[in-house]
Amino acid sequence: MKRHVTVLLTALAPVSWGTTYAVTTEFLPPDRPLFTGLMRALPAGLLLLALTRVLPRGVWWAKAAALGALNIGAFFPLLFVSAYRLPGGMAAVVGSAGPLFVVGLSALLLGRRPAPRTLVTGVAAALGVSLVVLEGAGALDLVGVLAAVASTVSMATGTVLTKRWGRPDGVGPLALTAWQLTAGGLLIAPIALLAEGAPPALDARAVGGYLYLALANTAVAYWLWFRGIGRLAATQVGFLGPLSPLTAAVVGWAALGQTLTPVQLAGMALAFAATVAAQLGGRKSRPFSRTEKNGRKDSMDLTGSGLRR
């Protein structure tokens, strides 16, 4: 039962991220993707740092910086570049391949051999998302495609390394989230200033939109995400990612007056079924062991659903 609750709570993160597009288009200034990424990451990270009052120590300064760059600092700008340059939700299609990247990187970096069931489920999820978001897609932009692939690989690598490194003793997922958001925000800040110039003037709608993105969409959502990584198998967490474009499609239909065709509805059903199937069966992932031996911590177990030695 605890495992199911953890899955549901972790799933709230990609569901929240699925509302980002609607909030951005309806409330925020146009053509400021880097500033938006900065406003999502840095205020949330500083707020969580103030709440936890825990700073990295020793090697964790470098680890927090690396994870912050992968999960936030590189991921946010690349994601926005792809979203602005690709038509018809193509960026979401590339992003839906995230579970397959997680499986591949787990095999490459951790020596974990994926089960055929995992690969089939990953392909089904990507196909389902493709049916939802590719309708009406036009010509593709090479820079946008490369940015979408890079953002997906960046997030997948961050997920696997977060699972592998775990957390130092006495540090909870809230502090780990604070470190990564702050490090990622500090990385984005100079890039946003050089590329987009001074911050734009903000009205009340924009302020409300940025508050939502920084608090619910980022601080809370990433805390749930990193908490889930610590308690679930890497593939289980990765397979929750397709919930983000599916949520975006539902929000577009419910709030923005967009229509959903029978093909899109079938794609949503397929992607959702693949996401649920990835959470079922397989062995339960054991939590991270914080016991030390000869000054070195054990790595987190990745032998959960869909992965085997």
Encode pLDDT of 246-304 as tens digits.
Answer: 887 788 778 777 677 788 788 878 888 888 887 775 444 444 444 333 333 333 332 23
User: Tell me: the pLDDT tens digits for 123-145?
Assistant: 887 787 777 766 555 556 778 77
Name the one residue in this structure whose structure tokens are 């409300």: 208
Q: Where are the domains of the chain?
A: 2-282+297-308
Quickly state the pLDDT bin for 108 (edges 50, 70, 90). Answer: confident
Ramachandran assignment for 306, one of left (phi > 0), alpha (psi -120 to 50 degrees), beta (any other):
left
189-232 pLDDT, tens per residue?
999 999 999 999 999 999 999 999 999 999 999 999 999 988 88
Question: Could you identify the residue written with the tokens 């994926």?
Answer: 114
Q: Could you report the per-residue pLDDT of 63-104, keeping only the tens digit for each? A: 999 999 999 999 888 877 776 776 545 566 666 777 778 877
Phi, psi of 308, rounded to the nearest 5 degrees: -150, 160
Contact 19, 217 (CB under 8 A): yes
**Segments in 215-300 forming alpha helices (H):** 221-231, 234-238, 243-255, 262-279
For residue 309, pLDDT beyond 60 = no
Q: Give the pLDDT score at 176.
A: 95
Q: Is the pLDDT of residue 18 over 90?
A: no
Selected residue with higher pLDDT from 79 and 8: 8
Least Cα distance to 121 among 307, 306, 309 occurs for 306
What is the number of alpha carbons within 13 Å of residue 240 lying toward its C-beta? Answer: 29
Q: What is the pTM of this model?
A: 0.79
- Please, are residues 35 and 172 in contact by the beta-carbon 8 Å criterion? no
Specify the residue for token string 């959470």.
279
**Using CA atoms, how far apart are residues 62 and 77, in angstroms rounded to an integer?**
21
